[in-house]
């Protein structure tokens, strides 16, 4: 079994805390049908941080969704989030942007389903709004964060999953 370093735990915890804090502070635009979850910009760090980044964002989703108007059911959003982030990690050598777009599609479909199930809002009406809102936060802001972080991270910063410098 691989040994987990304190650095890996700290990276995941810091990302989870930052994500949850942004969701909570920006709650009016972080939930429901017309949402621009600014915290999703942090997803741009996942291709650089590897699995600790995916775990951090997933934990941040669980913590941030504690206050969701959709209730405890929204905490299940961690599942499609983690699946989407795993896909992003697999695509990071080919196209980070493609991975971000897949994330947007999966999470928008999930949130649209939840809104339909819990609030009775038609999926067909909310899905396009979710695609745009989640797309702005994830593809636009997230890609900007990815590009900026790739340039400024110290040379010794390691993605231990791949054993390469970033």
pLDDT at 156: 53
Q: What is the predicted pLDDT for the residue at 58?
A: 98
Tell me which residue of 133, 159, 160, 136 sits closest to 28, measured CA to CA: 133
pLDDT at 161: 46
φ and ψ at residue 31, rounded to 5 degrees: -130, 165
> What is the pTM assigned to this prediction?
0.89
Helices (H), 92-135: 96-119, 123-135
pLDDT value, residue 155: 57
The backbone torsions φ and ψ at residue 165, rounded to the nearest 5 degrees and listed phi first, read -80, 145
Give the residues of the chain that fall short of pLDDT 50.
Answer: 158, 160-166
* Alpha helices by DSSP H, 26-95: 27-30, 46-49, 51-64, 78-91
Give 150's contacts (C-beta < 8 A, 6+ positions apart).
48, 166
The dihedral built from the CA positions of residue 69, 72, 77 and 82, taken in this order, carries a sign that is positive
How much is the pLDDT for 123? 96
Q: Which helix (H) or strand (E) holds 165?
A: strand 164-165
Q: Confirm if 133 and 36 have CB atoms less than 8 A apart.
A: yes
């Amino acid at each position: 079994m691989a040994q987990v370093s304190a650095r890996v735990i700290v990276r995941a915890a810091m990302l989870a805390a930052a994500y949850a804090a942004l969701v909570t502070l920006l709650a009016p635009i972080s939930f429901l049908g017309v949402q621009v979850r600014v915290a999703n910009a942090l997803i741009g760090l996942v291709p650089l941080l590897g699995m600790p980044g995916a775990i951090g964002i997933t934990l941040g989703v669980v913590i941030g969704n504690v206050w969701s108007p959709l209730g405890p059911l929204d905490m299940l959003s961690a599942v499609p989030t983690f699946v989407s982030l795993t896909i992003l990690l697999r695509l990071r050598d080919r196209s980070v942007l493609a991975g971000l777009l897949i994330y947007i599609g999966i999470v928008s479909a999930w949130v649209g389903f939840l809104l339909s199930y819990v609030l009775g809002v038609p999926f067909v009406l909310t899905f396009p709004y979710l695609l745009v809102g989640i797309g702005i936060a994830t593809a636009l802001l997230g890609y900007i964060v990815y590009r900026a972080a790739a340039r400024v991270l110290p040379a010794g910063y390691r993605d231990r999953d791949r054993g390469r410098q970033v």
